[in-house]
């Protein structure tokens, strides 16, 4: 969801305002109108699934962090991971879900960096789980018209 729906809608508002001016050439206005229609369709699709995607992703990230707390060799990181793994989404507002997601991702990055430096099977297994979740997250966020 990057850019997020609010950014797309703000961009569209600017496009509408600029294209309302009478001196805008018809061809440019037509192009902007087509782009605006496409962006509105994408924004509608992103908006419809945003909360579900974030709730599912936050739960998956918390699960990975809980696993990370069990295998981390850094005591401070372990305490941080335990705290975040035990947190819950207190609101379904997109801003709150996105904020929680960002915090969880920071911890996941720190955990992942630790795991990449290690050669033990426990670390490699969890690293593989992290990569599987990152791929699954990309799939959840893929838009219906995406060629990939």
pLDDT value of residue 148: 67
Q: Phi/psi class of residue 112: alpha, beta or left (left: φ > 0; alpha: ψ in -120 to 50)?
A: alpha
- Which residue do the tokens 């992103």 mark? 46
89 contacts 102 by C-beta, under 8 angstroms: no
At 107 the pLDDT is 98
Name the residue with tokens 């989404």: 89
Q: Are 78 and 86 in contact (CB under 8 A)?
A: no
pTM for this prediction: 0.82
* pLDDT per residue rounded down to tens, the chain (148 residues): 466 778 888 888 888 888 888 898 999 988 988 888 888 888 888 888 899 999 999 999 999 999 999 999 999 999 999 999 999 999 999 999 999 999 999 999 999 999 999 999 999 999 999 999 999 999 998 887 777 6
């Amino acid at each position: 969801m990057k850019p997020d729906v609010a950014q797309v809608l703000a961009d569209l508002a600017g496009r509408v305002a600029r294209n309302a001016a009478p001196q805008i050439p018809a061809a440019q206005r037509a192009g902007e109108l087509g782009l605006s229609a496409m962006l509105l369709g994408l924004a509608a699709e992103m908006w419809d699934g945003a909360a579900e995607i974030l709730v599912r992703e936050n739960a998956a990230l918390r699960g990975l962090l809980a696993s990370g707390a069990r295998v981390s060799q850094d005591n401070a990181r372990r305490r941080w991971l335990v705290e975040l793994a035990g947190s819950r989404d207190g609101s379904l507002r997109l801003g709150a879900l996105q904020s929680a997601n960002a915090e969880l991702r920071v911890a996941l990055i720190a955990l992942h960096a630790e795991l990449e430096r290690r050669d033990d099977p426990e670390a490699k297994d969890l690293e593989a789980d992290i990569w599987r979740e990152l791929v699954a997250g990309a799939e959840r966020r893929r838009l219906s018209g995406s060629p990939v």
